[in-house]
Copies of this chain bind each other. A is one copy, B any other.
Amino acid sequence: MKLELPIRYGMVGGGLTGKIGAIHRAAARLHGHFRLDAGAFSSDPGIAHASASALGVASERSYESYQKMAESEAAREDGIEAVVIVTPNHLHAGPCKAFLEAGMHIICDKPLTSTLADAERLHDAVSQSDRIFMLTHCYTGYPLVREARHRIQAGEIGRIRLVHVEYPQGWAAGPIERSGLKFAEWRADPERSGMGGCVADIGTHAFHLARFVSGLQVEEISAQLTSFVEHRMLDDDVQVLMRFENGGRGILWTSQVAWAQENGLSFRVFGDRGSLEWSHVDPNRLCHANEKQEHCVITRAGPAASPRSARLSLSPAGHPEGYVEAFATLYTETATAIRAMRNSRKRPKGLEFPGIDDGLEGMKFIHACIDSSAANGQWTRLN
């Protein structure tokens, strides 16, 4: 038991008028591994400085641009070690590269960028650096998502045949982007969001979850993207058939017009000797149909959970955990990786949290979906 100093970090975006910054900060804070020391919280200087003040960031470390922040923090002895990027999609690539060049580790919101070209350039930059890059596909932080992944890796359900993943939301069932809500506005705008709407915003989460849990590559997809709401420029419903490298088949559905659905991410994986099901609505339970075809429930940190997933828990079994704990697990794993690099310039091996490869793959998924849908569902390779 020795003191591990918290990671000093800064944030780009995430001003107090938005929502997502607060989740990131709470996740960073939950286990005490991070300390917020700097920020360029908004492109509006008033909001930026007010946010800094309310968050306890010293005024000289509240910046009006990310470029200035990268430069100044790099020059300080007590400068930040890591940065969290929570801007709209088109403003990921620039900050990422600036802070990378300034020698900082990166935690970046998904999808990686707004264009595939940006993503490829960023991928190169990260790959050639020795910095940690974490992409917040936060659902992979749930202990029972890990449990499913590990059981599949260990062959517990046999050869994978079917992977079904879905992520329905309903908040965009009406023309919400014309209601003045900022988060809805930029997501609906191709300039800021990129060419994908729902497919980029949450489809990439679902896709990554399918990949993360199954451990299988998706070779090709056939997609049908729809915009149900009049005048909407980007897709709001996404149906994708998938073919996996091992001959497995999958269905991915994600929607932002699924009436009254809040955030219904779920997966089902069927092998030739078992199956696993998990739903974000009830994330503390994983259903396992074993070789005898009995459906058994694995509870988070409960008697059937493996130590490897149980140790990701903060609370004892039976005390529900949720989104912020899952998010915090990614932050904690990132902190561990960053700390390992304080004494070494080599990236640790075997990192389980999502990184730059997952980010590029997500962008390829978006583009394959858009291309396939434009070609009336033609099967399209991801690579």
Q: Chain A: residues with CB nearer than 8 A to chain B?
A: 1-6, 16, 19, 22-23, 25-26, 29-32, 50-51, 53-56, 157, 161-162, 164, 169-170, 173-174, 222, 224, 226, 228, 237, 239, 241, 249, 251, 253, 255, 257-264, 270-275, 280-284, 289, 292-299, 302-304, 314-325, 376-377, 379
Do A263 and B293 form a contact, CB below 8 Å, given A251-B251, A377-B379?
no
How far does the Cβ of A80 sit from chain B's closest Cβ, in whole Å? 18
Bound-state Cα–Cα, A257 to B261, Å: 29
Verify A324–B314 contact, CB threshold 8 A.
yes
Verify A239–B241 contact, CB threshold 8 A.
yes
Please give, as numbers and ranges, the residues of chain B lying within 8 Å of A241 by CB-CB distance: 222, 224, 239, 241, 377
Q: How many copies make up the complex?
A: 4
Bound-state Cα–Cα, A259 to B23, Å: 37
Most buried by B among A253, A260, A264, A316: A260
Measured CB to CB, the nearest residue on chain B to A316 is B19
How far does the Cβ of A116 sit from chain B's closest Cβ, in whole Å? 24
Measured CB to CB, the nearest residue on chain B to A138 is B319
Please give, as numbers and ranges, the residues of chain B lying within 8 Å of A255 by CB-CB distance: 162, 270
How far does the Cβ of A219 sit from chain B's closest Cβ, in whole Å? 13
With beta carbons under 8 angstroms apart, the residue of B19, B173, B239, B318 that contacts A251 is: B239
Please give, as numbers and ranges, the residues of chain B lying within 8 Å of A263 by CB-CB distance: 316-319
Bound-state Cα–Cα, A263 to B193, Å: 41
Bound-state Cα–Cα, A253 to B264, Å: 19
How far does the Cβ of A284 sit from chain B's closest Cβ, in whole Å? 8
